[in-house]
A and B are shown apart, each in its own frame.
Chain A
Amino acid sequence: MLLTVKNLSKSFLGSRALDAVDFDLAAGEVHALLGENGAGKSTLIKCLTGAYHRDAGTIALEGEAIDPRSTSQAQDLGIGTVYQEVNLLPNLTVAQNLTFGREPTRFGLIDARARTRLAREMLDGYGLDIDVNRDLGAYSVAIQQIVAIARAVSLSGKVLILDEPTASLDAREVEMLFKVVRDLRDRGLGIVFISHFLDQVFTISDRITVLRNGRRIVTEDTARIDRVKLIEHMLGHALESEVEARAGAAAPEKGGRPIAFSFRNIGRQGVIEPFDLDIHEGEVVGLAGLLGSGRTESAELLYGIRTAQTGEARDANGPINIRNPRAAIAAGFGFAPEDRKTDGIVADLTIRENIVLALQASKGWMRPIPRAEQNRLADEYIEKLDIRTTGREKLIGELSGGNQQKVILARWLAMNPRFLILDEPTRGIDVGAHAEIVRLIRALNEKGMSLLVISSELEELIAVSDRIIVVRDRRHVAELAGDQMTTDTIVRAIAAPDANPEEAA
């Protein structure tokens, strides 16, 4: 084995990010590393590249124990990394980037001609016909990515770690990159490939390792692994123990209700393929899919955080404008984002201030909401949503995750929106608060509000949704309703191979 990791453990502030993980990599293989958010992929990579220092376990490169303390040390040992965001400098030329730090010099000055020659040699065999003396930024992300690989390979030359290299590439560029990866594999490099795109993983990898909650779940030859099994491993659902969480298969007649919003052909290049979506009054639509599949991106387009390049949105009265969040709010939309710490709460403001924030913004700063009204709103929602606090003037940053989430919900409820998008509303919330949020979602849509809920918790999604849309590889691939809504069918829909895997980007 080229690289052998045994019993690797790493904790942060008492929480185990990696728990006795084994991993190995042979020369001349592409080994894919899979796992949802928090599975421990990036922690493992960072331990290998020296960005983190492990707590326990051993790492051996070509049989010799190594202990990289920094990325440059790991590089010298032979482990190179290329990240999703190209870590090169767009304002330098390709040649300057490739030779950075070891420019050929003559009489103490850089020899530009020798540098050009060296850069051409480094790019030799990558199938790139580019002018190395042009700025790197003038080339596409795919070419930049390959330049980054060429640099990493020539600096390190044994192990190459590719961390989501295809995240912003189109199908043709992915194929170009894969050709490079295959060539490098054939030259005897060990390659660790991390991606959210299952089809790409199946196309390029020889073996797959799945991590979940900091543990290694399985390592298997790609040819022998079953897609459904793989997704089960990633999500941690055993299909045998299928839970019928559907509370009385609620209200199938909702489809007969009037359509509240209809979105046609909403899409954006490189973000999500155009999709149609109809949402009925008082309906809860769930979005299921793996991390990075395009679920959050779909919601962001609907709420105008990213502007859709194509398509239109209508309600009962005609077209509505959702080109930016302000317009979406004016149209009666609300959005509780996934990362509530950075995108949701304003930690230094009180509960009251956080609740009235959106309402005040929609009124404009010239018409302040009277303090008494603010107090009334805050008290009302603290009581209604059962927000556990000593009072409305407490800073929101001091609340627990579940209570923060309720304050965000309150913020949007105060707006009385017609359509509310909840991205991972229960992430990082303890079990008790979890159930309450689910109950709240149910109560909301009984009042006629339409909801779009995104969640990785399939049971929870099934429990709250009237319909579930499955997103895979930046496409809406399936719509499930009624009896079809089981974790089994969802997992199968996520796992279904694409007819044309190379187009999965």
Chain B
Amino acid sequence: MTNARLLPLFATIAIFMLALVICFIQFPNMFSTRVLGNLLTDNAYLGIVAVGMTVVILAGGIDLSVGSVIAFSGVFIAVVLRDTGLHPMVVFAMLLAITTAFGAAMGGLVHALVMPGFIVTLAGMFLARGAAYMLSIDSVPIQHEFYDVLQSYILLPGRGRLTLIGITMLVVFVIGMLIVHKTRFGTAVYAFGGGEATARLMGVRQGRVTVMIYAFSGFMAGLSGIVFSIYTGSGYSLATVGTELTAIAAVVIGGTLLTGGAGYMFGTFIGVLTMGLIQVYIVFDGTLSSWWTKIVIGALVLAFILLQKALLHLARRGNEVAYA
């Protein structure tokens, strides 16, 4: 028998397949490289931030600040590019340093004050949004020739566009998989989600790991902000409100246990694609209101929470039977 924790991942993949089949039956012409390219491009910022969120949730935490950090990133990039002559790459480096430090500071507080990540990152959410407002209330357009380079794409057969930001998301997912499944840090992340006290007894340096987890999420939020600024070509302090919740939903639909300790980075990738697919379907249908996306996502999240509960229950019953 395979590990029970693989089951949610299988469920994630099965739902994605089911969604594909439904789409194919209703709109056969949906399967084009064009739709595929757009799917990756439109969800690039969400996918990247979901990679960071997956790590935080696997460790049993949560990061509510990422939506605001993405907005802050966009405004920061736009304002600095407008007001100074710095090259975008330099601005990106500055931004990533800021958001990583911001995440690390939140992780430090979570550890030092023994506070739930929920509370600390809630404060971070307001702080980052406020900082974005301080930089600019209006939407600031980004005009820099380097951005034209960043917005480039590879033309796929069938006139699909594989954009740089779409590729970035794919690369980030691969890196995320390596980090959680192939490094000691990743094992420590799972250990944290499995039980903090036990992880400590097994030699995990709690403070260091907590800081690293939130710093990673902060870095990913910054990177997502860069990608979002390339995607929209502007920075706006009111953008990406609630994106942190969408990211959490993608992680849950990806089969990760919301209480931590079990899940796969690949599941999150499929979760993001599933959510994107629902949107594409609604666009193709044309008669449905876009609010249906939210309803379907809500139903999926609920279904996954129920599935996880049922698995937990079954596992416990299985243990008792084994005992008797």
Contacts and interface: CB of A to CB of B under 8 A. Distances in A.
A247 interface: no
Contacts of B201: 71, 87
A92 B183 contact: no
Interface string A99-118: 01101010011101000000
Interface in A258-300: 269-270
B interface SS class: helix
B203 interface: yes
A72 B201 CA distance: 8
A170 B198 CA distance: 24
Given A110-B182, A270-B323, A90 B187 contact: no
B315 interface: yes
A96 interface: yes
Contacts of A459: none
Contacts of A108: 183
Given A100-B187, A110-B182, A137-B315, A87 B3 contact: no
Contacts of A65: none
A239 interface: no
Contacts of A91: 5, 190, 193-194, 261-262
Interface in A59-98: 71-72, 87-93, 96-97
A108 B175 CA distance: 13
Interface in A372-401: none
Interface residues of B, number: 28
A138 B4 CA distance: 8
A500 interface: no
A140 interface: yes
Contacts of A424: none
Contacts of B323: 140-141, 170, 269-270
B308 to A, nearest CB: 13
Contacts of A112: 182
A46 interface: no
A119 to B, nearest CB: 13
A89 B183 contact: no
B191 interface: yes
Contact of B191 (A89, A135, A138, A269): A89
A323 interface: no
Contacts of B319: 140
A89 B190 contact: yes
A89 B182 contact: no
A109 B324 contact: no
A96 to B, nearest CB: 6
A90 B203 contact: no
A101 B198 CA distance: 13
B187 A134 contact: no
Contacts of B134: none
Interface string B1-45: 001110000000000000000000000000000000000000000
B3 A109 contact: no
Given A72-B203, A89-B195, A101-B202, A138 B3 contact: yes
21 contacts: A87-B201, A87-B202, A88-B198, A89-B261, A90-B194, A91-B261, A92-B187, A92-B191, A92-B194, A93-B3, A100-B191, A100-B203, A101-B204, A105-B184, A109-B178, A110-B181, A110-B184, A134-B3, A135-B3, A138-B3, A140-B323
The 9 closest A-B pairs by CB, nearest first: A89-B194, A91-B194, A91-B261, A109-B182, A101-B203, A135-B3, A110-B182, A87-B201, A100-B202
Interface of A: 71-72, 87-93, 96-97, 100-101, 103, 105, 108-110, 112, 134-135, 137-138, 140-141, 170, 269-270
Given A87-B198, A101-B204, A138-B4, 5 more contacts: A89-B199, A96-B190, A100-B202, A101-B184, A112-B182
